[in-house]
A and B are shown apart, each in its own frame.
Chain A
Amino acid sequence: MLEGLMIGLQTAINPFNLGMVVFGCIIGTFIGMLPGLGPMSIIAIMIPIAITLGDPTAALILLAGVYYGAIFGGSTSSILLNAPGVAGTVATSFDGYPMARKGQAGKALTIAAVSSFMGGTIGAVLLMVFAPMLSSVALLFHSAEYFALMVVGLSAIAAFAGTGQVGKAVMMTLLGLMMATVGEGALAAMPRFTAGILDLQSGFSFITLAMAMFALPEAMFLVMNPARSAQGGSDEDKSGTINNMRFSRAEGRAIAPVIGRQSVQGFFIGVLPGAGATIASFLGYAVERNLATKEEQAEFGKGSIKGLAAPETANNAACTGSFVPLLTLGIPGSGTTAILLGALLALNVTPGPRLMVDEPQVFWAVIISMYIGNLVLLVLNLPLIPYIAKVLSIPRNYLIPFILFFTLMGAYIGQNNSTELLILVGFGVIATILRFADYPLAPLLIGFILGTMLEDNFSRSMQLYQGLGFILERPMTLGLLVLAAFLVVLPTYRAARARNRAKGVADGD
């Protein structure tokens, strides 16, 4: 392994390849900030450029840089504008955006940058040490376990089921799950609930719904709430003022264990070809919320630093983990890695068990470039954060049109289909009304994102086991489902008990 490391280091450190990492990171970060252009489309755009380089190592290093940059760039728009461009950064906006509203945009971006860096770096160490052994881990999960894993991921909604909100959160989740059934499912060539509209054939697109549920209502709120649009803002809205870029030592200590746990957990979820960064971020969020103390738990969803660090660490670690099935088995676990696989094959590199033996310089150079890519991103972005965060101090009459343009473009750009804009505006109005009625919108989006995968894996298991037998026959499935029940029931029970006790005291009981 040391020998391999040396080979990789030599390859990656040469000035041209270093230049490729920096170039890739910059391109990725800036394009990644635009919603609608996730890592997948940016990599697809960059592939012809990478292939002209001719050298597979340089090409892969460039693409890895673009990939990391795009993931990182995606969290910026989640934090600043509540506009998650890819599903993997939805959980980032849960606490990142509230922090920005409290005037902590700079701190939130710093925490995101540091968590991403740590997640990516620890992930790369795990990849380096364990990659050959992990190929069997990647094949451990069957559809039944993936189904159970999605159920665990769904438990992240508990964070939005605070006092008196349980019913509302459940309703929103169910609505999200229902919306995921629109269109032609992966398991039957039959359009469902499309009302004969051709544009709904492939279902609602993630980016349109994310913009409609998160970014658009925020912009509408800013327009409609005069207190907020007044100069200087009200007490609750200090997003224009950007103070404290850095987090304190105490805060650093608080998020350190979160980063440690989520790096490992996120990495292993990323290794599974049927899971990935999105599931990792929701699971990370749910798990860390349950591990937090009661006071910290109340902060989740309202600007908790732990709630921000958890998904940011987990999604980066998972992206690194997703290289395990790609490099050691030749199996792409996500759309992005499928495109990377195509690029590798185009460069005459066949990923699989023999890659490490046949072309060690490619394998090791990719891993080394992950370290370098993560480091470059951190170095590149930390000094830029004050400038990026200043976006929020733009006067509202300029900022709001900018956000609206941003969201409309995000919904349109992916599909080049103007119907997306109608869907966006329609759901944007509904979402704004729901927000006024104090319904949490995050559970809807979580339900929508997980719904398709939940349904696919569930019906596949049903078909393989000719019924529900898989729940009892597969111990790991049962274990995960019990864990999910535990994650949902325990906090609700604790909250109810706390409420009863408080009432008891008030009543003088």
Chain B
Amino acid sequence: MKFTRRVMMTAAAAMVAFSGAAQADGHQVLDELHFLIPGGAGGGWDGTARGTGEALTEAGLVGSASYENMSGGGGGVAIAHMIENADSMGNTMMVNSTPIVIRSLTGVFPQSFRDLTLVAGTIGDYAALVVQSDSPITSMEDLLTTYRADATSFAIGGGSVPGGMDHLVAAMAMQAAGEDPTGFNYIPYDAGGAAMAGLLSGEIQALSTGFSEAVALAEQGEVRILGVTAPDRIAGSDAPTMMEQGVDVEFVNWRGFFAAPGLDEETVGNMRAAIAAMYETEEWEAVRARNGWVNIHNPGDEFEAFLENQEQVIGDLMRTLGFL
């Protein structure tokens, strides 16, 4: 019964790795870290927290990591929980991303990133506009020409609500190209996968989505990426940026970590140090590559400036679009 033993051993080893009980080896920065995840198991936030925790513990930077899923209120429940119980949150980091900026602007929850301690932005994903690969549209210019010719039968879809991230990216591109950002027909889907199916079925003419979601399908020859919101072309991909086509749009959907308000400087410093050191480890590289993430490290003060700038840009656009 050789294989059963192997199965059990594999499972046991995996359980150990999963619970993050790996032994520290000398350069440990924090004894334990608790991750608060504002969404359910299996979502993007969940993957980011567990992946980061895995890399930190396996690299020996953190002794052990634990995870807590707390969904509700578009992330608002977890934020409120973190603020209310700030005193007992000494070793807790909450994962979050661009929606915390959008949702506090729209008032989904009353708090904003200013009510929390900023640890660091860690990874990101650029946005992209894509069309079906057999579409006659091959560039941003084509897209705009088609749109100008017949705006009513031209719909751009996305996997977020109107006023959500995918909509905002499409509106930014339209605005940068000199069009009315409120003029086009935006069709919302409840998830990126459903939106992609909508594009491939021909229901919508173009799709605003995350670059990492689009690139896999582009490699398979199903979609064509018209423009990416990165400042330069992304390594390993020949997808053009919006910038190089004269559409002045730069946008990154970041993910990062927050701690409870009023947390002492030393602990926050240790959290930041652990994350900064993580980028150098092969354990992180394995997790990053596995998930197709792009390293965008924004520690401490830079993170604050970055968030304030993003809030400004998104806020202005949402006022133009009439969402604020």
Q: Is B40 an interface residue (CB 8 A)?
A: yes
A219 to nearest B CB, angstroms? 26
Q: Is A199 an interface residue (CB 8 A)?
A: yes
What separation, in Å, do the CA atoms of A49 and B203 have in the docked complex?
Answer: 39
Contact A48–B18 (Cβ < 8 Å): yes
Contact with A along B197-238 (1 / 0, CB 8 A): 110111110000000000011011110000000000000000
Q: Is A188 an interface residue (CB 8 A)?
A: yes
- Count of interface residues, chain B, beta-carbon cutoff 8 Å: 64
What separation, in Å, do the CA atoms of A331 and B216 have in the docked complex?
Answer: 10
User: Apart from A199-B72, A415-B72, what are 14 other A-B pairs with CB-CB below 8 Å?
Assistant: A15-B3, A18-B3, A19-B3, A141-B201, A142-B203, A187-B188, A188-B161, A201-B108, A202-B71, A346-B291, A351-B220, A415-B70, A415-B71, A466-B152
Question: Which chain B residues border A44 with CB–CB below 8 Å?
Answer: 41-42, 46
Contact with B along A322-350 (1 / 0, CB 8 A): 00010001111101011101100111001
What separation, in Å, do the CA atoms of A335 and B194 have in the docked complex?
Answer: 11
Question: Which chain B residues border A141 with CB–CB below 8 Å?
Answer: 201
Seen from chain A, the residues whose Cβ lies within 8 Å of a Cβ on chain B are: 15-16, 18-20, 23, 40-41, 43-45, 48-49, 51-53, 138-143, 184-189, 191, 198-199, 201-202, 273-274, 325, 329-333, 335, 337-339, 341-342, 345-347, 350-355, 414-417, 419, 456, 460, 463-464, 466
Complex partner residue of B11 from A23, A274, A325, CB under 8 angstroms: A23
Contact A463–B187 (Cβ < 8 Å): yes
Q: Is B265 an interface residue (CB 8 A)?
A: no
Once A48-B50, A464-B203 are accepted as A-B contacts, the answer to whether A198 and B197 lie under 8 Å apart by CB is: no
Complex partner residue of B108 from A19, A40, A191, A333, CB under 8 angstroms: A191
B57 to nearest A CB, angstroms? 12
Question: Which chain A residues border B76 with CB–CB below 8 Å?
Answer: 198, 201
Contact B3–A16 (Cβ < 8 Å): yes
Complex partner residue of A342 from B6, B18, B47, B217, CB under 8 angstroms: B47
What separation, in Å, do the CA atoms of A183 and B188 have in the docked complex?
Answer: 17
Once A189-B323, A464-B203 are accepted as A-B contacts, the answer to whether A41 and B42 lie under 8 Å apart by CB is: yes
12 CB-based A-B contacts, threshold 8 Å: A40-B42, A48-B18, A142-B202, A143-B198, A187-B188, A201-B76, A202-B71, A274-B197, A345-B291, A346-B291, A414-B40, A463-B155
Contact A331–B200 (Cβ < 8 Å): yes
Contact B74–A201 (Cβ < 8 Å): yes
Q: With CB as the reference atom, state the residue of chain B lying closest to A51.
A: B290
Q: With CB as the reference atom, state the residue of chain B lying closest to A353.
A: B220
Contact with A along B41-77 (1 / 0, CB 8 A): 1100011001000100000000000001111111011
What separation, in Å, do the CA atoms of A462 and B77 have in the docked complex?
Answer: 33
Contact A338–B193 (Cβ < 8 Å): yes
Complex partner residue of A52 from B14, B194, B291, CB under 8 angstroms: B14
Contact A52–B17 (Cβ < 8 Å): yes
Question: Which chain A residues border B152 with CB–CB below 8 Å?
Answer: 466
What separation, in Å, do the CA atoms of A52 and B190 have in the docked complex?
Answer: 32
A498 to nearest B CB, angstroms? 42
Complex partner residue of A20 from B7, B197, B198, CB under 8 angstroms: B7
Complex partner residue of A345 from B7, B69, B106, B292, CB under 8 angstroms: B292
Contact B187–A460 (Cβ < 8 Å): yes
Q: Is B147 an interface residue (CB 8 A)?
A: no
B197 to nearest A CB, angstroms? 4
Once A141-B201, A415-B72, A466-B152 are accepted as A-B contacts, the answer to whether A335 and B42 lie under 8 Å apart by CB is: yes
Question: Which chain A residues border B155 with CB–CB below 8 Å?
Answer: 463-464
Q: Is B145 an interface residue (CB 8 A)?
A: no
Q: With CB as the reference atom, state the residue of chain A lying closest to B216.
A: A350
Complex partner residue of B161 from A189, A351, A354, CB under 8 angstroms: A189
Instruction: Kindly identify, within residues 106 to 148 of chain B, every residue whose CB is under 8 Å from any CB belonging to chain A.
Output: 106, 108-109
